[in-house]
Structure 1
Amino acid sequence: MHYAHFGWIGFNRSSDWGTYAALASPYELARNIGLIIWRLLDFGRVTLWLLVLVLLWHMRKRVPVGIKELLILLLVPLLTLGSILVWFTNPIAHRYWLVVYVFLGFLSARLLLEVKSTALRWSVLALMVVSLVSGHFWIYPQRIAKGWDATMAHLPYYQLRKDMLLYLDQQQIPWQAVGTDFPNVAPPSKTDLSSEARMLAPKDLATQSYILYSNVFNGFTDQELDALASNWTVEKELRKGQVYMRLYKRK
């Protein structure tokens, strides 16, 4: 019924993301494997995986039934998603693995109950909590795409966006004269529960006089970032937490 109505299953080649539905080359296949491993370890979860591997190896001769069941619940979505996503050029986002993260947490907690030493159990638990909390402060260099929506580090973005839009109005800069990128191209009426229907324009560094950039954007190419650094000046910069937003003006 879905195919009869929409004409596609799984992905829509005519959508904005249709280009990511192509089959991966051997290089892209290897890259996808690396990305999957990165996503699974990212934002402090590396400690949980190490705990699971160490404790499973320690009790390899006698694994309780409950732990086996949780391990199966973890591996089924992990292997299923991995075996599908790895063959395509689609971006492999953190959110695709939410089910895996949930069962990883359950399995880690269940394995901790098998640690006989109370002091060791609480020490390992504290290490896990610290590692996961630290994950919200893992910021990569500008040219490395980061899954901002998978960490609380992105929270300051929303107020910075409002403040920058207010600055544009104060300076009488038309919103349509400012180029920007996802997720900043939608009008506030669709993102902020407001009646404001104005919206910024999709970026075009060749024609626009103003560009609004934030480090939460992953859609700027390395060449565009180089151009902003050399051919544009920072008209206004706002910072809060680990997020910044810059309004560039052509020199």
Structure 2
Amino acid sequence: MKKILFLERFFDTKKNQYLFFTIISFAIFLFSMDVGIFWDNVLFTSKIGTHLYENNLFNWMLPDNLDAGHPPTLGFLLAILWKVFGQKLWVSHLLMLPFTIGFLYQLFQLTSYFIKNKIHSFFAFLLIIIDPTLSTQFVLVNPEIIQLFLFLLAINSILYERYFLKIVALFFLSIISLRSMLLFGGVFLFEIINLKYIVKTEKAILSKKLIFSYVIGIIPAIAYLSIHYIEKGWLVSHANSPWSGHRNFVSLNEFLKNCAVLVHKYIDYGRFIIYFVIIYIFIKFKKSAFSKVTKQLLILSFSSVFFIIIASLLSSNPFGHRYFLISYILLNLLSFLLFVKFLKKKRFVYSLIFITLITGNLWIYPKEIAQGWDATLAHLPYYSLRLKAIDYLNNNKIEIEDVASFFPNKTALHHVDFKNDHRSFQNFNKKNDYVFYSNVYNLSDEDYDSLNTDYNILKEFKNNNIQVILYILKEK
């Protein structure tokens, strides 16, 4: 009882909340400061950041081989910090620290809005942050936490009626990435639906004040996209773009496949338990489960990612688990609200969801099945194994340039750990003398067949369920 009272009093003041979230964020920074640049962040952090760092910080018109249409905001922020502290991996993680603090604080503000009991709000907060996909973003240098922080700041500003803060949040949210622009649209959609069906305002929904906030907020996005189009003649893709194959509309069969992939992203890594609880309570308690708060959270859960879902389903661009992070967060919060209110065995259900989400990090599929490795903490042993394999190559006088590898390792070593080693792995062509492979790379069946048929294992490194294997071409 005394511990509960202490927690209630502790979280009653903003000063203590800031202190707590700062300590947590700093602990995350210390834990993750050696985690290398991973997945498509090799482009959006390392390559783009390095280009701006070595050239002109303020020239956002990137070379076509680096330009996927996104504003280079993250690379710009990294380049500024590198100018001050040097281009080092820990400096890159340092950039994420204030955004992590801000995100955690805004997340707690969100849970506190829907859950007035501070203890319950704190336990809902804990249940949310252990989601495998969300917790993985804390240890990576990427735009996700920045986008989530700004999105939650905008939503909380609407819920708590902080007009000026909403404009600030929208202003910066609109310039992080193309996906953050879609999140911007999600904020607008939520506010309109919320005013009409939840608040049920008698005033005009599209008031001058509301329109003004979004007009000001969208200025950075409009400015960037306009200048980009004037300078380059295209917005998202062009014929010679490395990503042109990912910028097409899908066929009906591909659309249906994307729908199945979307469902999988939502239920993956243990999240199925959240939806099971929600659906069970909706079926059992029917109308009584659909309170004003429940409806508001449901609206927010889907309006927030509405435009992202539409873009993902209609485009040939592969989409990841992290695209729908804010929806996972809100549905997780909804499940907590429902089982606390309607179920008797609250602690059991909480423990069940908690354990299922934590162990979601242990979900590793057979190597032939593509997996979102940037959405699970399971991949963390990869970084140390990668360094051991590189040390083996160096010690055995095997040139890095003679070794093939795969995404995301098919790049200069410098782009992963910023150690000023610009040697680079080459493309895999099935004839390379050596191959650097890890099960955190998603290979085609054809590439797997070639490794199994044409190569012998030279050296293998393992840690838990993660492995790095060096292959050597068989003599013919």
User: What TM-score do you get using the length of structure 2 for normalisation?
Assistant: 0.50
Which residue of 1 is the match for residue 361 of structure 2? Answer: 136
Per the alignment, do residues 116 and 242 of structure 1 end up closer, same or farther by CA in structure 2, a change over 3 Å counting?
Answer: closer
Which residue of 2 is the match for residue 236 of structure 1? Answer: 459
Q: 2:401 aligns with which of 156, 176, 181?
A: 176
Tell me if the contact between 1:13 and 1:21 (Cα under 8 Å) persists in the aligned partners: no
Tell me which moved more, 54-63 or 89-98: 54-63
Are 1:154 and 2:379 an aligned pair?
yes
Q: Pairwise CA RMSD of aligned residues?
A: 1.6
Tell me which moved more, 128-137 or 9-18: 9-18
Are 1:110 and 2:337 an aligned pair?
yes
Mapped partners of 2:435, 2:401: distance in 1? 11
Letter in 1 for 2:297: L
Mapped partners of 2:372, 2:269: distance in 1? 9
Q: How many Å apart are 1:73 and its aligned residue?
A: 0.6
Letter in 1 for 2:362: F
Are 1:126 and 2:359 an aligned pair?
no
Mapped partners of 1:76, 1:11: distance in 2? 26
Which residue of 1 is the match for residue 300 of structure 2? Answer: 73
Mapped partners of 2:450, 2:436: distance in 1? 13
Q: How many Å apart are 1:196 and its aligned residue?
A: 1.5
Q: How many Å apart are 1:13 and its aligned residue?
A: 5.5
Tell me which moved more, 59-68 or 158-167: 59-68
Deviations 1:57-114 (A, max 9, x none): 3333132211211111102134432222111211121111111111112112221221
Q: How many Å apart are 1:243 and its aligned residue?
A: 0.7
Which residue of 2 is the match for residue 216 of structure 1? Answer: 440
Mapped partners of 2:240, 2:292: distance in 1? 47
Q: How many Å apart are 1:189 and its aligned residue?
A: 2.0
- SS of 2:304's partner is helix
Per the alignment, do residues 13 and 115 of structure 1 end up closer, same or farther by CA in structure 2, a change over 3 Å counting?
Answer: farther
Are 1:15 and 2:15 an aligned pair?
no
Deviations 1:173-223 (A, max 9, x none): 0000000011112223222131222121122213x11111111001x2111
Tell me if the contact between 1:179 and 1:210 (Cα under 8 Å) persists in the aligned partners: yes
Give unpaired runs (5+ residues) of structure 1. Answer: none
Tell me which moved more, 6-15 or 21-30: 6-15
Letter in 2 for 1:83: I
User: What TM-score do you get using the length of structure 1 for normalisation?
Assistant: 0.92
Q: 1:190 aligns with which of 400, 409, 415?
A: 415
Per the alignment, do residues 55 and 14 of structure 1 end up closer, same or farther by CA in structure 2, a change over 3 Å counting?
Answer: farther
- Matched residues, number: 247
Tell me if the contact between 1:20 and 1:91 (Cα under 8 Å) persists in the aligned partners: yes
Which residue of 2 is the match for residue 64 of structure 1? Answer: 291
Mapped partners of 1:185, 1:224: distance in 2? 14
Q: 1:40 aligns with which of 249, 252, 266?
A: 266
Tell me which moved more, 14-23 or 45-54: 14-23
- SS of 1:212's partner is strand
